[in-house]
Structure 1
Amino acid sequence: MNYIDTSGLNHRIEELSTHRKYHFVDQKPAHYKHGRTPTLLCVHGFPDCWYGWRYQIKPWVHRGFRVVVPDMLGYGGTDKPKDPVEYSTKRLCADLAAILDLLEIKKAVLIGHDWGAYAVSRFALWHPDRLLALVILSVPYSPPSLEYISVKTIAKIAPNLSYQAYFEEQRSTQEIESNLNTFLRVIYRNPNPTQRFKISQLYKGPEVLAKIYVPDSDIVLNSEELKFYNKIFEQGMNGPLNYYRTSLYRHEEELAAKLSPNLRQDLPVLFIWGTKDTTTTSSLIHKAHKFIPRLQDFALEEKGHWILVEARDVITEKIAQWLEDLAIEARMAAKVHL
């Protein structure tokens, strides 16, 4: 069993200027210098929490970074409003900016996985001047659209995404809460499960979940990690599922703000994905390159969606080295202009 020591982390609960309370880990390196030590703001996805970064926090701090990892809205020790409108990406990005304000950090490196990847990508549009660099994991960048396409329409076009239409429905909250352990086992499957099951089948309801058997060998979590996630989500699934109920709110906000589809031209962006992750396709990656001038992409062969666990050492080292290389490039460029 792989064991990761999460003891000794600095956990904080603070009320932000957005009037929402957030729980987050705030870990500084030994020789931290305010204004000089780069900060990594790590944003988890669904269904996850700060614990999703457990394999990266201490190694990145040891490399000299300040690492800030919140429970996003609706998760863990953070506020859990009931209304889906509270979970629009504009509001989530305002919360992330407020965390940086609270910590008196002008600019940070934002790193996001899954829904967190979507959130940090949108942060680069809503708050472009607050980023030093951007790292996106598992979900490629998609630009704002001038036309609204509902989740149900998307599910018809791409049946493998029909689970999102199920999550959008309010009934999914109670049904998933009633079958929580099985649901987590289904979600956290490894990319080569012995028991075949399409996640899109969840749309059929609780009777499907009740019949599913997912053996320990088919999931990327060990028993202690699975127990941790069960405890976290026993608090309720409404907040996490509300992210899937925001598509119209997100579209209206972006349309009203006339958000550009292009990320800042000088912004370094790294995208990492697993080749066995069905949420990522070559066409989506190719499309992302059109809107991100400095996009670098890196494939993890034979890995699935949960690369923070499946490829934890590679992820930890790749991102740290990429950021260190950027710092070296910046110092060399500064010398040239002296």
Structure 2
Amino acid sequence: MDPASFNHRVAQLSTGRTYHFVDQLPENYKPRRTPTLLCVHGFPDCWYQIGPWTRKGFRVVVPNMLGYGDTDRPQHPSEYSTKKLCADLAALLDFVGVQRAVVIGHDWGAFTAGRFALWHPDRLHALVILSVPYTPPTPQYMPVEKVAKLAPDLAYQAYFASAQSSKDLDAHLLQFLRMSFQKPHSTKSFSPNQLLSGPEEILTKLKIQDSDIILGPKELAYYQQVLQKGMNEPLNYYRTARYRYEEERDASLPSKLREDLPVLFLYGTRDTTCTNAVISKSHKFISRLQTIALEGRGHWVMVEAKDEVTEMIAAWLEELMTRPPKPAL
């Protein structure tokens, strides 16, 4: 899809930060009948993976998140805490004149969307999270190094949290993108944990065929264009553990989401970072959780199964609107 064909906007929000975002209005839009979808991307991503929900009558607002593209790029990791990101998202909704939205998040965006439901529970009609299950605030501070030990599949996060990762990924950005967007059935399957054994060697020597990548050449080039401004800022999300913990502790943030909030979780069965144990645990904190597994899909469900995911989410929302919960959509 042509990035220039979308309605791009730039705004300084009431939080003082400037965001670039795409704002797609469907034909004959009826805001009182159809909610706005606020989409939140993860790493290494951007606004670009947007589902064609406007065909279903939804308004779709998709920001480049803090640190990406033409959105502000503060240097210090503390600026990327989810409390501050969620304040930005609430301010973005204010700017576009939307009181409540359906919030959809993938990867870091899924984590942020889940926290948005805690920091600003009155701003959501419904919540959709992709690939990363909901996890509650932790009762004790857990540094990323400890997370890496307790959850070996997430060990790469310790590398991403290091200063060295910014230098390595800037120097080998295209190769890193090719590795990140490999097909789950790739002949030379790449796990980000491989970077722990020697990032320089992996980033320079691992050969990936074009046929093993889920992005086309134009899509890959666009990602490179957006991210070549520097990887330090996107990687700052991995450096926020202490700031997030302190903010959530000081606010006594609850563990459970709003009881009447409908939540849909979609994930690929070949996503090695998404474990059944964490998915099962999330049911303890979400009263109205529906889970759908996408067989044979990996982490990038909005790329691998865009039409399928778009239809599933649209059908789920349409069912909510025809048989509305209390309070209604």
Fold similarity call, TM over 0.5: yes
Cα deviation code 1:266-300 (max 9, x no counterpart): 00000000000012111111100010000000010
Question: In the alignment, what sits opposite 2:15?
Answer: 18
State the identity as a percent: 57
Residue in structure 1 matched with residue 30 of structure 2 by the alignment: 33
1:138 and 2:131 aligned:
yes
2:78 corresponds to = 85
Residues 1:313 and 2:307 aligned together: yes
Q: Deviations over 1:74-114 (max 9, x none)?
A: 00110000000000000000000000011111100000001
Note if contact 2:260-2:325 (Cα within 8 Å) is conserved in structure 1: no
Give the match's secondary structure for 1:22.
strand
Any residues of structure 2 matched to 1:88-127 within 5 Å, and which? 88-127=81-120
Change beyond 3 A, Cα 1:27–1:249: same
Assess if the C-alpha contact under 8 Å between 1:150 and 1:247 holds in 2: yes
**1:267-282 superposed matches below 5 A:** 267-282=261-276
For 2:33 and 2:320, the matched residues in 1 are separated by 15
Following the alignment from structure 1 to structure 2, what is the Cα–Cα distance between the partners of residues 5 and 80?
25
C-alpha separation between the residues in 2 aligned to 1:215 and 1:281?
28
Aligned 8 A contact 1:176 1:206 in 2: no
Specify the code of the residue in structure 1 equivalent to 2:257.
L
Structure 2 CA distance, aligned partners of 1:270 and 1:173? 33
Aligned twin of 2:178: 185
The answer (yes or no) to whether the contact 2:43–2:108 under 8 Å persists in 1 is: yes
Cα separation, 2, equivalents of 1:28 and 1:312: 19
In the other structure, the counterpart of 1:245 is: 239
Deviation (angstroms), 1:332 = 11
Matching residue of 2:260: 266
The answer to whether residue 54 in structure 2 is matched with residue 61 in structure 1 is yes
Q: With structure 1 as the length reference, what TM-score do the two structures score?
A: 0.94
Aligned residue for 1:49? 46
SS at 1:290's partner residue?
A: coil
Structure 1 residue identity aligned to 2:323: E
The one-letter amino acid of 1:265's match is: E
Quote the Cα distance in structure 1 between the aligned partners of 2:189 and 2:262. Answer: 39
CA distance in 2, matches of 1:331, 1:242: 38
**Bigger shift: 5-14 or 230-239?**
5-14
Aligned CA distance change for structure 1 residues 168 and 135 (closer, same or farther; 3 Å): same
> What's 2:68 paired with?
75
Please state whether the residue corresponding to 1:330 is helix, strand or coil: coil
Deviations 1:5-64 (A, max 9, x none): 4443110000000000000001111212344431000000100000122xx1xx311211
More deviation, 81-90/6-15: 6-15
Q: Can you list the C-alpha shifts for 1:193-230, whole angstroms capped at 9, x where unaligned?
A: 11143321212332331111111121111111111111
Q: Distance in 2 between the 1:26 and 1:123 partners?
A: 20
Q: Give the conservation status (yes or no) of the 8 Å contact 1:176–1:183.
A: yes
Q: Which amino acid aligns with 2:316?
A: W
Query: 1:294-309, aligned counterparts within 5 Å?
Result: 294-309=288-303
**223, 229, 234: which one aligns with 1:235:** 229
> Are the structure 2 counterparts of residues 84 and 9 from structure 1 closer, same or farther at C-alpha, using a change threshold of 3 Å?
same
C-alpha RMSD over aligned residues: 1.5
TM-score (norm. length: structure 2): 0.96
